Amino acid sequence: MRAQVMTTIRQFELLQGCLGRAACSQSPQDIPRSLHDPVMLLRGNPDHPEHDALGMRNPEVPAQAELIILGDSQVYGSCVSADQCWPRRLEAESGAVVYNAGVEGWGSVQYAVGLEELLSLAPRRVVVCLHTGNDIAEAFQCARASTSPLAKSFWNPDWAALPLADLSAKDRAERAVARLAAERPDLGPEEILAELGLRGEIDVNPCAIESSRFYLAEHFRHAVQDLSHPAIAAGLMITRKVLGHLRDLSLNYGFALGVMLIPTREFLVSTRLHEAEVRDRETLEQLGAAEATMLGELRLACADLDLPCFDLSGYLRHFVGSRIYPQNSRIGHPNAKGCELIARYVRDRVLPGLDSSHHIRAAVGGVYPMY
């Protein structure tokens, strides 16, 4: 009851804030997708033309959502238009009211806090999408910095002195791109990456596999998944607690809950390394081992909690060479083709699995994990 009351209050505050703002003269491309927020750290911007009154990427806030999908930029659809993101495609194909609750920069802690704010939508099913690319590192940062009592409940004060994961490889690659763009304004984005790839710039690793050509960032991906780093290990512990809280919410409010694991593009290439042409093979192998361990730990966490778990790795590895990511780019978000494939997977495998697991839970008080 308390969660429902707090949900209604928080939604009223967000709607009131949106309605109270004066009309903005900014063009759509100048309006940021997200805003800083003490609770979420980042929250979707209700003023963005593609967002609803709660700041989510939907045409409107429905009175009731049959399915809520929580996630980060992989769910939001950072590389595609609003009508091409996979939750919207899923809605069109399934006929169900699907609510896209993906926000760029979120991790598992934001998923728990966000779902409590969305309980008034009375979902029948909820899918939580854990992206191994950065969700665990984000969980550590949100539990540490958020003002939310729920977020703080996942935090251990003994972790306060732990260093954050090393993101220097990502920063270095971004600086190299910006520097070369300033030095050579005659070069286009693809030419800049090609030149940096030839120079051996870290995390601008040229990759060719089947018909796909892109640039990998395996050093950064390894840094945010390496469980030997204390902050990443703590992030995994936090995520385990989050999954337990989400499971309790599903039992208390009667919705079917499932977890979908979304791997990185780099990991998918590492599973087919014998077919790929890459410059930095050794680091990619290290990333592959680290991410396989992370995926295994998340599957185990779901199994311990009797949560159905759907790992996209085995499905997407078959398509990684089929242009499902932007070509000649460092961007690891699925393009329109990739979103179409993910929507099909959720429609054909995740939703039927959720329905069957919900029936088992109701009948015998438990559910068998589904991988």
15-45 per-position pLDDT tens digit: 434 433 333 334 456 799 999 999 999 999 9
Any idea which residue has 């995926």 for tokens?
Answer: 295
CA-CA-CA-CA torsion sign (99, 100, 105, 109): positive
Share the mean pLDDT of the chain: 90
pLDDT of residue 29: 65
328-359 per-position pLDDT tens digit: 999 999 999 999 999 999 999 999 999 876 65
Please check whether residue 214 lies inside any domain of the structure: yes
Please check whether residue 261 lies inside any domain of the structure: yes
Please check whether residue 27 lies inside any domain of the structure: no
Domain count, the chain: 1
Please check whether residue 369 lies inside any domain of the structure: no
- Domain range for 162 is 2-17+32-364
pLDDT of residue 28: 57
pLDDT at residue 218 is higher than 50 = yes
Please check whether residue 156 lies inside any domain of the structure: yes
> Is residue 371 very low, low, confident or very high in pLDDT (cuts 50, 70, 90)?
very low
- Residue 17 has φ and ψ, to the nearest 5°, of -65, -40
Please check whether residue 26 lies inside any domain of the structure: no
Q: Please state whether beta strands 125-131 and 41-44 pair in parallel, antiparallel, or not at all (unpaired).
A: unpaired
Alpha helix stretches (DSSP H) within the chain: 2-20, 73-76, 86-94, 108-117, 135-145, 149-153, 168-183, 189-199, 218-223, 230-253, 265-270, 281-304, 313-316, 336-345, 351-364
183-207 per-position pLDDT tens digit: 999 999 999 999 999 999 999 999 9
Please check whether residue 138 lies inside any domain of the structure: yes
235-290 per-position pLDDT tens digit: 999 999 999 999 999 999 999 999 999 999 999 999 999 999 999 999 999 999 99
Which CATH number goes with the domain that contains 317?
3.40.50.1110
The model's pTM: 0.89
pLDDT at residue 13 is higher than 50 = no
Please check whether residue 23 lies inside any domain of the structure: no
pLDDT of residue 355: 82
